[in-house]
Structure 1
Amino acid sequence: MPKAPPLAITHVWMTLFMVVPAMFCIVAGDTAGKALTQAGAHPFFVAWARFAMAALVLLPLSGLSRDELPKLLGWRILLRGALVVGGIASILTALSTEPIADVFGAFFVGPIISYILAALLLKEHVTPARSLLLVLGFAGVLLVVKPGFGAGLGMGFAVLAGVFYGSFLTATRWLAGHFRPRFLLISQLLVGSVLLAPLALAVGAPAMTPQIWLLLIGSAAGSAMGNFLLAMATRSAPASVIAPLVYTQLIAATLLGYLAFGDWPDALSLTGLAVILTSGLLSLRLARR
């Protein structure tokens, strides 16, 4: 049986240069979201505002045509939108009560979920070596959190966010060949705005100070840019290649957590980060083959 053709080196590096910045953008958005909850905003309001503001800004740039409007009501688009809504609402709820590093540690059941679903539902090719490296990356996550799963309700929401996000990654790969990246982005923003509007109305808005506005804009911009880059990456690389790179999100969470909240990992956590980075680099090497 002939071997599968190698993935072009340029595609690998393009994937790297899209996914890694995407992860930093998404974490930056969530860091701003945590700051918002500390300032008194409810997680559901923050989630809705993030979707609504990004949709308002990006709608004119989305290239959405009249012919595409019916596609917004397609069940696959609605399902993908609901998954990202569940993920963002869950992780913001977790961040409102738990340290950012612990939340993202629990959140990292996501790449495992994505990897398994891609193999089962999308029939993507997986190898024992790549599977082992993904497990190695997850072991690094456990070193970081030591482990802290199930410590409280907030950590339960963090795990739930990871399940939603891993499913969202697979759904994005599933639809990437059928829709434009900008359509996928604007569809999730519009679906999220509609689904979260009743919850945001129920909890109410905080006092809209300049600080709140600035954090809302930063949270929306980070999330939108990160998800756009991720949608671009999924057009040229399978979920099984992208999944290990998503671990760089934990590195971003550690760095931004220190800069924003003064939390710096101990020696064991730094070892875990090194394991995660090694796993991602080795996975990229396999992808080039």
Structure 2
Amino acid sequence: MHSDNLHRGAVLMIASGLLFSVMGGLIKYISVHLPSEMVVFFRSAMGLLVLLPWVWRRGFRQLKTTRLRGHLLRGLAGLAAMYCYFFTIAHLPLAEAVLLNYSTPLFVPFIAVLWLGEKISARLWLAIGTGFAGILLILKPGLALFTPVSLIGVASGMFAALAMVSIRRLTRSEPILRIVFYFSAVCTAVSAVPLAWRWQSPEPGLWLLLVLVGVLASLAQSLMTRAYAHAPAAQVGPFTYSTVLFAAIVGWLFWGEVLDVLSFAGALLVCLAGILTIRLAGRRAAPMTGIAGPR
């Protein structure tokens, strides 16, 4: 239930975007020194640790479920999105990596049609088509500027969309606490496996940054959730794209990254299409971004 305070919701969402962009910058820096597998594990483990006091207060009986298969699918989809996203951050300009991940709303309607039998309106088709045109400009297929890593960025958006739609199914019978807990538990357990052959002992300063990544992600998601509590998703959801702007600023300040003309034009189209898709989809899909994505 929301309080219809768009101004407060927008401020909270923009603050969330700022924290997510700083987290992305930290991931980009850490990835120079440590493999992405380690970053994903610590991000997941920190999220689980933050949840435990909440679960303790509510009681562990709240975790009893008959939908383990659904939780596993949601967890694996979200984890795949996280792996793709963090890998992309390490190899592409920060703003471009964030932007490709934020293509998620463009994929949600397709999965919802195939899985939930939902319908796509003509206006929504137009918004989606605009978004994919923007993605093509960013990918630049057939040009020397094309990088295969960009496809992994698109995959992060696709996997995140699958996670979002799986949450929509789970919320029919499962409370949010249970969904978030099983997501963190699945991600932590599965992401621990590659550490057997990818572990590197971090330097003391990197330990602190790894913990900070998890803390920032948890804070950012908390602010995002609060933002959706203050205003309808169709109104406050578009402010999530402030993350792209902040990421561009972080990338420029610390790595001198500047989007080329095609990528900049594609960024405008993807942001526009994402905003339109969120508004047209209304409250059905947008609120899930706070608990579905890899961020």
Which TM class, normalised by the smaller chain length? 0.7 to 0.9
Q: 1:216 aligns with which of 185, 210, 215?
A: 210
- 1:5 matched residue in structure 2: none
Give, as a single letter, the amino acid of the residue that structure 1 aligns with 2:75: G
Is 2:178 the partner of 1:183?
A: yes
1:51 to 32, 38, 44: 44
Query: Hey, what does 2:78 align to over in structure 1?
Result: 84
Measured after TM superposition, the shift of residue 59 of structure 1 is 1.2
Distance of 2:202 and 2:279 partners within structure 1: 50
Equivalent residue letter for 2:62: E
* Equivalent in the alignment of 2:194: 199
2:76/2:187 contact within 8 Å kept? yes
Q: Is the contact made by 1:29 and 1:221 (CA closer than 8 Å) also made in structure 2?
A: no
Q: Which residue number corresponds to residue 93 of structure 1? A: 87
Q: Unaligned stretches of 5+ in structure 2?
A: 283-295
Do the aligned residues in 1 keep the contact of 2:24 with 2:247 (CA within 8 Å)?
Answer: no
Give the root-mean-square deviation of aligned CA atoms.
3.9
1:27-42 matches, cutoff 5 A = 27-38=21-32, 40-42=33-35
Single out whichever of 16-25 and 97-106 deviates more from structure 2: 16-25
How much has 1:243 moved relative to structure 2?
8.7
Q: How far apart, CA to CA, are the structure 2 residues paired with 1:236 and 1:131?
A: 29
Deviation at 1:249, TM superposition (A): 4.8
- Cα distance in 1 for partners of 2:135, 2:23 equals 21
Structure 1 pair 138/152, CA: closer, same or farther in 2 (3 Å)? Answer: closer
| 2:268 pairs with 1:254 | no
Deviation at 1:138, TM superposition (A): 3.3
Q: Contact conserved, 1:51 with 1:192, CA < 8 A, in 2? A: yes
1:122 aligns with 116
Distance across 2 between alignment mates of 1:230 and 1:179: 20
Paired residues, what number? 279
- Work out the CA distance in 1 between the residues paired with 2:104 and 2:202: 34
Residues 8-19 of structure 1 mapped to structure 2, 5 A cutoff: 10=4
TM-score of the superposition, structure 2-length normalised?
0.74
- Indicate conservation of the 8 Å contact 1:176/1:235, yes or no: no
Distance 1:280 1:117, change over 3 A: closer
Distance 2:253 2:66 in 1: 39
Identity %: 22
Give the Cα separation in 2 of the matches to 1:120 and 1:59.
35
Q: Indicate if the aligned counterparts of 1:97 and 1:154 stay in contact, CA closer than 8 A.
A: yes
Of the structure 1 ranges 42-51 and 133-142, higher mean CA displacement relative to structure 2 is found in 133-142
1:250 and 1:93 map into 2 onto residues whose CA distance is 17
SS in 2 for 1:71: coil
Q: In structure 2, what is the equivalent of residue 167 of structure 1?
A: 162
Deviation at 1:129, TM superposition (A): 0.6
* From 130, 133, 158, the counterpart of 2:153: 158
Give 2:196's aligned amino acid: L
Letter in 2 for 1:176: T
Amino acid at match of 2:51: L
Query: What SS does the corresponding residue of 1:41 show, helix, strand or coil?
Result: coil
Structure 2 CA distance for aligned equivalents of residues 169 and 274 of structure 1: 24
Q: Is the 8 A contact 1:77 1:187 kept in 2?
A: yes
Q: Work out whether 1:66 is the aligned partner of 2:60.
A: yes
User: Residue 52 of structure 1: CA displacement?
Assistant: 0.7
Change (3 A) 1:284 1:77: closer
Distance 1:26 1:53 in 2: 15
Q: Which moved more, 1:88-97 or 1:153-162?
A: 153-162
Which residue type is aligned with residue 85 of structure 1? L
Distance in 2 separating the partners of 1:271 and 1:36: 29
